A and B are shown apart, each in its own frame.
Chain A
């Protein structure tokens, strides 16, 4: 399936949804800094990969899909939850890319300029994320067995 971007989707985001994302994101960044200050960088670093807006994001995906189906005259509760599951599946692939981003920072930051590490780590994150998404069927999906090849059960 081809990737597409809809700029019109931004118009569908309600003001309170913008505020939730901004406040949650900002609050988690402050919390990560305070935790690092009190417990040191080893514990603080864990929170750099905290799923900050994932619950709010998944909930909004479900709501938007449900509203979309309701406008078409359907009851979209189940559909909304399935789309939220697909979104979470994408996030799970994104986590591997997130670990690759952190790995680049860990290895290269003490040796190279910050101005090199930031773009390099971001590029690695994007490449791994998109690469995993493109290869997802080959890597994560189990092949469907044809009915004629089903083994006989004794």
Chain B
């Protein structure tokens, strides 16, 4: 139990630090189309795959990486829909990004159903 708590705490602090690092890069770079690349940086993967390999082994982490490809395709659909909505109708960015989040869930789980 204490091992699980320690691992979760490590994930939280390493994840928070790496995500913040990429967020700073996104803030620094211009033009914004280039800075946006860092919005889809592999921050969660970099933060967690090392811990996953140490606790569950390379094959387990490799299986996670295979599913991550599906998650990335879902992210692409979600980001493309967000771009279109913001460009075409200009709602608030937070409203657009949160209201379209079901696209990520829908596409990723549909792809998971197809390949499982």
- A61 and B14 alpha carbons, distance in the complex (Å): 24
Chain A positions 9 through 49: 1 when the CB is less than 8 Å from some CB of chain B, otherwise 0 = 11011000010011111111110111010000111111111
Chain A positions 76 through 103: 1 when the CB is less than 8 Å from some CB of chain B, otherwise 0 = 0010111111111111111111110111
Closest CB-CB distance, A127 to chain B, in whole Å?
Answer: 12
- A126 and B45 alpha carbons, distance in the complex (Å): 14
CB-contacts of B44-102 with A (<8 A): 44-53, 56, 58-76, 78-80, 82-83, 86-87, 90-94, 96-98, 101
Closest CB-CB distance, B62 to chain A, in whole Å?
Answer: 4
Contact A22–B67 (Cβ < 8 Å): no
Question: Given that A46-B112, A84-B93, A92-B80 are contacting pairs, would A29 and B64 also be in contact in the complex, using a CB cutoff of 8 Å?
Answer: no
Interface secondary structure of A, over-half rule: helix
- A41 and B38 alpha carbons, distance in the complex (Å): 25
Please, which residues of chain A bring their CB within 8 A of the CB of B74? 46, 49
Interface size on B, residues (CB 8 A): 83
Contact A45–B71 (Cβ < 8 Å): yes
Question: Given that A84-B93, A91-B79 are contacting pairs, would A26 and B101 also be in contact in the complex, using a CB cutoff of 8 Å?
Answer: no
Closest CB-CB distance, A37 to chain B, in whole Å?
Answer: 8
- A6 and B35 alpha carbons, distance in the complex (Å): 11
Contact A94–B104 (Cβ < 8 Å): no
Interface size on A, residues (CB 8 A): 84
Contact B36–A87 (Cβ < 8 Å): yes
Contact B23–A103 (Cβ < 8 Å): no
Partner of B45, one of A4, A86, A93, A101: A101
Contact A91–B68 (Cβ < 8 Å): no
- A43 and B50 alpha carbons, distance in the complex (Å): 18
Contact A6–B28 (Cβ < 8 Å): yes
Please, which residues of chain A bring their CB within 8 A of the CB of B67? 41-46, 48
Q: Which residue of B lies closest to A17 (CB)?
A: B23
Partner of A96, one of B18, B46, B48, B76: B76
Q: Which residue of A lies closest to B24 (CB)?
A: A10
Contact A95–B58 (Cβ < 8 Å): no
- A91 and B22 alpha carbons, distance in the complex (Å): 12
Binding site for A on B (CB under 8 A): 7-8, 11-20, 23-24, 26-53, 56, 58-76, 78-80, 82-83, 86-87, 90-94, 96-98, 101, 104, 108-109, 112, 116
Sampled A-B contacts (16; CB under 8 Å): A28-B15, A43-B112, A44-B64, A45-B63, A46-B108, A48-B48, A48-B65, A54-B78, A58-B82, A58-B93, A59-B92, A59-B97, A86-B33, A98-B41, A109-B65, A129-B37
